[in-house]
Structure 1
């Protein structure tokens, strides 16, 4: 088994050493020791980093990826979770395709004003709905929230 120091792993992966140390702290990768002050990894870390990159590209959080990477080096894939994430990617593709099509239309629209164009209006409405759905929800007064000290008597 070949060993790679953290610098070599960083160069291969394109990740800074600080990210590799963070991944190790989170249990996503594991060093096999040290060579002086440098962490040393088994060459199998390359495969694990590839799996982490795939998971991140697919939109999984590091915690979700950690759940799928068993400590013994095997995968513990949750097929239902994969299907749910695939459905989310499909929704993102649909939303981005609609935005792309709207932008292309706006670029070639012959309406005297984009604000008079029904397709441009739909694009703006889609953007507004998307932005609203991505904002964190705040608790509404009277629905499970506690009154602040200023309003409590």
Structure 2
């Protein structure tokens, strides 16, 4: 009677090297439930090879501004026993498209308005389209009401 060998796994150092992500980042991703590892009898982490594509997907999604909470929610719908496929990525990216489009519109609007901003955050202008549209803070009294580092 023969048993099939278990699929090869990677150490945390191997995953870090292959993915370009620090070991501490992998531990963080694991603590947040984004990736999973197996443990050896010596309690060392071992990752299935599929984790490399999962880490790549996480990094790309983060670069587009998707939060780790949103990434985790999306990854929770994918099987853990295989690498995310091109179809999986297509579905995930499509689900994030509307939010990204809205963020792009918002940033474009801010970019287009920034020339009229004096950049001091004092809100001394009668109407600041960035921090006080329509001068809604006038009813709160004179002087700055919202600071940039709020």
Q: Report the TM-score, using the length of structure 1 for normalisation.
A: 0.56
Match of 2:101 among 87, 90, 100: 87
> Which gives a bigger RCO, structure 1 or 2 (Cα 8 Å, sep 6+)?
2
1:72 aligns to 2:73 (yes or no) = no
8 A Cα contact 2:117 2:130, kept in partner: no
Shift in alpha-carbon separation, 1:132–1:72, aligned structure 2, 3 A: farther
1:92 Cα deviation from its structure 2 partner: 5.3
Match of 2:26 among 8, 20, 25: 20
Q: Report the TM-score, using the length of structure 2 for normalisation.
A: 0.57
8 A Cα contact 2:110 2:130, kept in partner: no
Cα deviation digits, residues 57-89 of structure 1 (max 9, x gap): 111111110110135236495677513322234
1:39 Cα deviation from its structure 2 partner: 0.8
1:96 Cα deviation from its structure 2 partner: 6.9
Work out the CA distance in 2 between the residues paired with 1:35 and 1:96: 55
8 A Cα contact 1:58 1:89, kept in partner: no
Shift in alpha-carbon separation, 1:50–1:2, aligned structure 2, 3 A: same
Work out the CA distance in 1 between the residues paired with 2:12 and 2:132: 42
Match of 2:37 in 1: 31
Match of 1:41 among 11, 29, 47: 47
8 A Cα contact 1:5 1:41, kept in partner: yes
Alpha-carbon RMSD across the aligned residues, in angstroms, is 3.5
Match of 2:118 among 92, 99, 124: 124
Paired positions, count: 113
1:91 Cα deviation from its structure 2 partner: 2.5
